[in-house]
Amino acid sequence: MSGSFDHLVDAAFRGRRAADLAGAPPDALRGVSAEDARRLAEAFGITTIGELATSRFFGMAGAIASAATGSPGFDSGPPPMWEGRFAAAPLAAYEARPDLFRVDFGAVFYRGRLDGTARLLVVGQDPSVNELLAHRAFVGQSGQRLQGLLLKIGLTDSYLMLNTFLYSIFGQFGGDNARVSAADPVLGYRNSLLDAVANENPLRAVLTVGSAAHDAVDRWPGAAALPRVHILHPAFPDTERLLQDWNAAMTELTTHLEPDDGAAPLPRYGADFAPGDVVAIPRRDLPFGLPRWHGEGDHAVRNGDGLIEWRSQPV
């Protein structure tokens, strides 16, 4: 045995494998007494180290502490329950259709809160280049425009973003990719994620971005229980019409959503995006180690089907 965990546990449990220790009682941990373990079992039903580590009560406490302190200042990745859900994705169904999906650069699953605090669920279409490099949804120019919309309704933190497709698509939504979206296993898996979001968060509304998302949420039975607001995609070419649509969405969204702590609604849009309307992606939404300029501006382009060009922010 490696003894990697010997400094964490009492003498009687040293030399054991991690899998064995996960099933050991909490008082196997150094500094935890048998009385402490008894109280954990009585109060929270926690009887093993593994249950202690994944307890939803500790997860809830961590979400509150994180919001209060702003720490960590990055997205540390999905918690165990969500990691398991994402790992169950039907990636093979996408990989079987390389004519429809760009599968070489990997899947993108989410951006935002997976800690049970999301009040707005945002559903988009598919990841583009900036999203592939961050492995988070809505990171590029469209995501920064969307972030500005959320800020205008006073949402700085309590949102979760998912996409219709886990991989980037060729072309526009419709035809064969729409048929894949409407059938299992893609449909069933996506609905299972949406059900989990609805069951585990205090959702107040669903925001669908673009036609693919509108179609995806139409096919989700759980949508019937929630207010739904649809907006034109941030890349819609007629900016004045786009912002008129977004102003109407703001009016509807603010009837369902209170601002986050310390935030307040901002003025509506004019005929064009003004300074401050396009907002950098919060660092808390991005993995540790990304350059500070990633999520601000647009630095990535796709060169053909198998090459990404990524340029740093000009100095």
**pLDDT, tens digit, 9 for 90 and up, residues 287-313:** 999 988 899 988 888 887 778 888 887
Write the CATH number of the domain with boundaries 80-310: 3.40.470.10
What local confidence, expressed as pLDDT, does residue 314 receive?
65
pLDDT recorded at residue 32: 96
Q: What percent of the chain has pLDDT over 70?
A: 99
Q: What is the DSSP letter of 172?
A: S
Residue 242 pLDDT exceeds 60: yes
- Is the predicted pLDDT of residue 253 greater than 90, yes or no? yes
- Rounded to two decimals, the pTM is 0.92
Radius of gyration of the chain (CA): 22
**Least confident among 88-97, 273-282, 300-309:** 300-309
Cα 67 from Cα 115, distance rounded (Å): 11
Peptide bond into 234 cis (omega under 30): no
Sketch the domain layout of the chain as residue ranges.
6-54, 80-310
User: For residue 188, what pLDDT is reported?
Assistant: 98
Give the C-alpha separation, 197 to 120, whole Å. Answer: 10
pLDDT band at 1 (very low <50, low <70, confident <90, very high): very low
Q: Which residue bears the tokens 């997976």? A: 114
Cβ-Cβ contacts under 8 Å for 261 (sequence gap 6 or more): 67
